[in-house]
Amino acid sequence: MTTKTAEAGVETVCRELREKIGAEKVRDDEITLVTYGRIRHGFDIMWPFRKPSMVVFPGTREDVVETLKLANKFKVPVTSVGTAAIMLGTTEGGIVIDQRRRDKVLEINTDSGYAVIEPGVSFDKLTAALRGTGYKCSVGTMPGPGTVLGQALSRGSQSFTTRYLNLVLDLEVVLPSGLVYSTGSSHFEGVGSHLRYGPYPDLAGLYTCAYGAMGVITKAAIRIHPVNEASRVNLAGFDNYADSIDYIKELINHNIPEHTFIWDWHMYLTWPLAPEDMEKVMPGVLESDFTKPPEGIPYNIVSTMLSGYPEQVELYEKICARVAEKYHGRVISDEEAEERFPATLDGFRQQYGDYHYRESVHWSKGRFAGWYVFAEPKDMKEIEKYAAGEFAKFGKAINPVNYYSHPFDYGRSILLRIAGFPDPTDIELRKQIAAKFEEMYDTAMKRYRAVPIRPVGSEKAGTYMQVLASIKKVLDPNNILNRDCGLFDEGEL
């Protein structure tokens, strides 16, 4: 909730902001406010309505600085967003900073391998800008209009996590006081963004999964990767998840994949479909028992991005076939994939071959109910069995079609995501699912050493949250930044 000071200050902030940055950049008409409000939506019918007091569209970093200084002075909450902010954490009476107009790709550095972008740059824009440069960026399972920074900072699923834990190299941050600083090497005058940290602690980490609560990002450098002379997506099928894990782990240990991804059969059959095909295929898949794929349909397909010189890729393909066999699987040829899962193959080719987005029509199913954790590979095999068993108890009400797994940081940690699409209007079912997930997180953490990838409540994070809250108090003493966006419980410090 806004404080009394904030309520009194909102009009002043709006007026002064218009004077300082331009009236056209500050909107407070009713239609703008409700459309930027946190509203009951297909993504969560239980969300409380929260309406901002104004929406600011900065054109420059200085506009962000002025907005934060004024908001801080009058203690008005601020939520900073890019595009595709489905779960918009708007605070009632607060300011939304929408940085979509700051959408320039400022630099593509092909010597070092990074791109410097403004916060409004989407994956569609960055993938387009990289064409012809000999470099590519990470792509994920989210829609192409999603902002690169939103994805990178929430550590979502995407390619190249096989080799890195995080794709961010450098961030330019504005604090509520108006102070601007960079977390990486560009902090030193005239230096580029090639190094995430130098002689000092790694402060970029403070903004990863912080949901904007520690500062507003106004520029970022992210890793980009060279397009090699030869590259292809190798597919291998396995009848159980544990074999898939052994397969990817062995390949990673031998430096084979550029990126690798384990797809549950529900997911690989439906994710790359065109919307019209989704309507034909999805109903049947949703009616099926996800634990028992039809005859001849592997439980998992592992897509492995191979790249290098042509001879190298040819050799890697042979190695993939050998290792797949070792773990009771088999490589699926393009011809077979073409015949049996053509949309899947098209999707992989588009996303990993052309480096642009296959529109994920999974999202058209509405708000997913998702459960996702990190764990060590051995533990993850057990977790997957456990989670699949728990999902199966819900039956078809939450058939987990959005179901995949992939390694981070050379397979030190594996991410598993299982998500279904329950009826968005069935509030009782959603409550049951939420309670069950809570229980599953507890079990996975205690019994299988899992780490949740999204905040699960301060009490579970113990002293970590105490330290984080202390840092937050220094950076944002009036607690104006993204109060209702999930890092701290309902914004309380």
Element (H, E) at 280: helix 275-287
Instruction: Locate all alpha helices (DSSP H) within 327-462, ordered by sequence.
Output: 334-340, 342-348, 377-394, 427-448, 458-461
CB of 293 to other proteins, least distance (A): 25
Structure tokens at 17: 């902001």
CB of 389 to other proteins, least distance (A): 30
Structure tokens at 302: 């592992």
Residues 334 and 245 sit within 8 Å (Cβ to Cβ): no
| Residues that contact other proteins, how many (by CB under 8 A) | 50
Q: Which of residues 35-64 bind other proteins (CB under 8 A)?
A: 35-37, 39-43, 49, 51, 55, 57
Residues 6+ apart with CB under 8 A from 389: none
Neighbours of 364 (CB within 10 A): 13
Among 178, 366, 377, 455, contact with other proteins (rule: CB under 8 A): 366
Residues 6+ apart with CB under 8 A from 492: none
Does the protein bind other proteins through residue 215 (CB under 8 A)? no
Q: Which stretch binds other proteins (CB under 8 A): 81-89, 219-227, 258-266, 338-346?
A: 81-89
How many residues are recorded in the chain? 493
Residues 28 and 18 sit within 8 Å (Cβ to Cβ): no
Q: Which is nearer to other proteins, 20 or 356 (CB)?
A: 356
Among 58, 93, 272, 424, contact with other proteins (rule: CB under 8 A): 424
Q: Which is nearer to other proteins, 145 or 178 (CB)?
A: 145
Element (H, E) at 13: helix 4-21
Q: Which of residues 444-463 bind other proteins (CB under 8 A)?
A: none
Site mask, other proteins, residues 261-290, x = CB under 8 A? --------------xx-xx-----------
Among 63, 66, 92, 98, contact with other proteins (rule: CB under 8 A): 98
How far is C-alpha 328 from the geometric centre of its chain's CA atoms?
A: 32
Tell me the C-alpha distance between 491 and 493, whole Å.
6
CB of 442 to other proteins, least distance (A): 31
Among 1, 84, 195, 493, contact with other proteins (rule: CB under 8 A): 84
Local structure of 237: helix, strand or coil: strand
Closest listed residue to residue 399, CA positions, set 421, 428, 416, 368:
421
How far is C-alpha 432 from the geometric centre of its chain's CA atoms?
A: 25
Does the protein bind other proteins through residue 352 (CB under 8 A)? no
Tell me the C-alpha distance between 271 and 265, whole Å.
10
CB of 212 to other proteins, least distance (A): 16
Does the protein bind other proteins through residue 250 (CB under 8 A)? no
Among 127, 157, 186, 193, contact with other proteins (rule: CB under 8 A): 127
CB of 270 to other proteins, least distance (A): 13
- Radius of gyration (Cα) for the chain, nearest Å? 23
Residues within the interface to other proteins (CB under 8 A): 24, 27, 29-32, 34-37, 39-43, 49, 51, 55, 57, 83-86, 88, 98, 100-101, 122, 124-125, 127-128, 131, 143-146, 275-276, 278-279, 356-357, 359, 361, 363-364, 366, 424-425
